[in-house]
Structure 1
């Protein structure tokens, strides 16, 4: 009677480790991760409760069950940061690790070991085998070296192999997937995203955080801020937007410039692991002058519009008691503003840099001030994910290399030859036949003719 070792470690090795290393479990976990990743792409992430109430009502429920309440309860509004999605990633990573240590590493160890065949019957189980009448092993090594095999010899037996990198490839693939999972977890736990609308000429801290991981506080900049030196838009001849630009400076707490770049769509600024993207724009205000008064900076607000596009407007008082004035409305930053009186009637237009007489005063528009809409992200897991994908491509290429083996045994004036490979069977069969032909042409007994039977067995 054999006593089984007891204790948590023994239970883990005997019961849990085989379950974790099961390929079926890995496939189920991978499908679950893929399904919820797709749901996170289809369902808008990080929106307000009102948004989900409007788009996922109780009646009729999407697919008969998916309502805003269910969606928020499960966490489908922030899939990639839910505990259960992170648990799936960790469990899948544990399965890959278990499979690597219980299957892939032992297979590599077995492939690296020297396996000498000492009996002719051992050649019968090989995919390819034959015999040649030769009195010695002389010249066999040279024939194997010509086909780039690594040779091991023990007396009258030879073991040769090549393509051991093909056995390492699956391990590299597993390691790359673990890196990708690790990068995803690090990004979900420590990354953040912010959205800032910064008027031209203003400086602001990054504080409008729209989503962040539980450990993201250390990534949010505390010792530097962003200054928009200037924001402008290039327009096409037909009046549509061609590109919008922001001249940004990164400044420290003493307002000293640390970095300065002009960004636009698809050309962000990166500083200390934080990336600032040009994502949106708005009109912050207008600078006007009434007669010889100082320049006044008036804020402009977004107005509801029934047509496509956006409108911004402000009220410019033209009398000290604020009893009269005009509304300035604009749809872009090309410098043309439309004026309306208190009754809502259009009374004219004015361009940036020009003046107009209204309500007995001279109204001069100095400038229209734009706002740069920045999307600010930090994801420390991205370099890990990129490294994982690079390693994955390398591992896939390595896995396509065939691991080929050839055995040779000299016994009773006969040379027993056999070989097998794990892929590219036809190519290896041709290599094996060429090897047999080279061996057959080696000097042998005069009375004996070489016997070549390079037919697949089994």
Structure 2
């Protein structure tokens, strides 16, 4: 053997090793049903943790709710939570890795088990030519002096598709029952692909916008590593008006935002009034009505020009929502009053510098304070918007559609019947992948019709 032959032999051995490992080790490992079940349980477990643990909150939130002393369950602290990425489970590398591994397992199972089963099915179209071949069926029968010409119309009336070759017959129905599991696998793979796409390219933002203002999406709270192209730069949104409908008891019934989408030149391209469960969607970005606040109050002192003062939310210790601001009543800011509001209905409480209640007022009313007339013109509300973009959603919807179709298809029984006419006798046998009892009744009914005078010799094998 020459040096060249030796080199080529070693090179072929080296290149064949990865292929051998892939075919004999990796693919069987991935196609193992136990691995798929374990991965599915892990994905479900971490998905539950992502539902229970608040996602995308600031560090201060987790420090307050998951302190080190005492640790939740004895080990879960804010440091552990942030280290493991449990504050953004669905975008962590290990969760995406689980999805990819599960998808690989399903793919391996599809190509190693499901598709070969269809190839096996194509081989079952071989017509049986020996009577002994019918002994393997769970349900078989031998009939005297009956022909395939008598059997074929009975099978056709029950929607069997019939094939004949000489003295042999093959018939089947319900082929979609064999294809259904493959469709289920494809649907799950598309759902996984949609989830991975959304995790890598989607983003979540929150904005608090006063009524009448225009904004571009900037306050991103959570985003995938490839989400930047999805964040809109060529259009903005204007909040034309925000208002709240109240019940007769004074409780909030619904809050609304009339919003316009503006192109780069400021032209309106879409307009919609949104409320809870009725968002605005434009170019794959969805704006949800999530919360509200009081942004400012517009007031006038005596005959002064109208000026607008911002209002800040006050800390009430979880006992409701209050907003307040301070209004100077003298040019040198030496005196002023505090204004408190709890909603947009227009009732405000006025306190002096000493903290004592001076008066209550409503929008449009004038009140004497510190020797001047304070007129409350309007409370300006802010709409709280939650903004999401998930390019994987169409894939997820398509995957679920295929999944449901595949599940329905899988419930269809795939029934097969073979027959052979030989030596003056007709041999019949059949099998099905589900609903065995119903199939046996169907075959017996066919045989009863075929043999109306003499009882067929049935051979049932359990």
TM-score, structure 2 as length reference = 0.94
Match of residue 269, structure 2, among 246, 251, 258: 258
Deviates more, 1:63-72 or 1:289-298: 63-72
Which structure 2 residues correspond to residues 320-331 of structure 1 after superposition, within 5 A?
320-331=331-342
Give distance in 2, aligned partners of 1:349 and 1:109. 83
SS at match of 2:50: helix
SS at match of 1:139: helix
Aligned match of 1:48: 58
Q: Deviations over 1:163-183 (max 9, x none)?
A: 111000000000000011001
Q: Deviations over 1:100-143 (max 9, x none)?
A: 11110111122234131111111111010110012632222111
Match of residue 142, structure 2, among 116, 124, 131: 131
Give distance in 2, aligned partners of 1:307 and 1:74. 30
**Per the alignment, do residues 341 and 176 of structure 1 end up closer, same or farther by CA in structure 2, a change over 3 Å counting?**
same
Pairwise CA distance, 1:49: 2.0
Is residue 240 of structure 2 the alignment partner of residue 229 of structure 1? yes
Aligned match of 1:298: 309
Pairwise CA distance, 1:10: 3.0
Give distance in 1, aligned partners of 2:165 and 2:454. 24
Pairwise CA distance, 1:336: 1.0
Give distance in 2, aligned partners of 1:57 and 1:202. 39
Aligned match of 2:344: 333
Is residue 91 of structure 2 the alignment partner of residue 81 of structure 1? yes
Pairwise CA distance, 1:306: 4.3
SS at match of 2:239: strand
**Per the alignment, do residues 307 and 34 of structure 1 end up closer, same or farther by CA in structure 2, a change over 3 Å counting?**
closer
Match of residue 397, structure 2, among 369, 386, 401: 386
Is residue 438 of structure 2 the alignment partner of residue 427 of structure 1? yes
Pairwise CA distance, 1:9: 2.3
1:111–1:164 contact (8 Å) kept in structure 2: no
Match of residue 352, structure 1, among 363, 376, 395: 363
Match of residue 106, structure 1, among 107, 116, 124: 116
Pairwise CA distance, 1:457: 1.1
2:448–2:455 contact (8 Å) kept in structure 1: no
SS at match of 1:142: helix
Give distance in 1, aligned partners of 2:25 and 2:312. 65
Deviates more, 1:9-18 or 1:215-224: 9-18
Give runs of ≥4 in structure 1 deviating > 6 Å: none
Is residue 221 of structure 2 the alignment partner of residue 217 of structure 1? no
Pairwise CA distance, 1:60: 3.0
Aligned match of 1:445: none
Q: Deviations over 1:242-298 (max 9, x none)?
A: 111111111123221111111111111111111111100000000011111111011
Q: Deviations over 1:15-65 (max 9, x none)?
A: 111111111111111111111111111111112222222222223333332
Q: CA RMSD in A?
A: 1.6
1:196–1:373 contact (8 Å) kept in structure 2: yes
Pairwise CA distance, 1:307: 6.3
Give distance in 1, aligned partners of 2:280 and 2:200. 23
Pairwise CA distance, 1:315: 1.1
TM-score, structure 1 as length reference = 0.95
Give distance in 1, aligned partners of 2:215 and 2:331. 33
SS at match of 2:440: helix
Match of residue 28, structure 1, among 38, 41, 45: 38
2:415–2:431 contact (8 Å) kept in structure 1: yes
Give distance in 1, aligned partners of 2:207 and 2:232. 14
Aligned match of 2:70: 60
Pairwise CA distance, 1:72: 1.2
Pairwise CA distance, 1:438: 2.1
Aligned match of 1:446: none
SS at match of 2:140: strand
Give distance in 1, aligned partners of 2:151 and 2:324. 90
Aligned match of 1:194: 205
Q: Deviations over 1:191-232 (max 9, x none)?
A: 111000000111111100000001111111101111111111
1:300–1:312 contact (8 Å) kept in structure 2: yes
SS at match of 2:230: coil
Is residue 408 of structure 2 the alignment partner of residue 397 of structure 1? yes
Pairwise CA distance, 1:360: 1.8
SS at match of 2:261: strand
Aligned match of 1:453: 457
Pairwise CA distance, 1:451: 4.8
1:131–1:451 contact (8 Å) kept in structure 2: no
Give distance in 1, aligned partners of 2:434 and 2:85. 45
Which structure has the highest helix share of the two? Answer: 2
Pairwise CA distance, 1:6: 2.4
SS at match of 1:63: coil
Q: Which runs of 5+ in 2 are unaligned?
A: 1-11
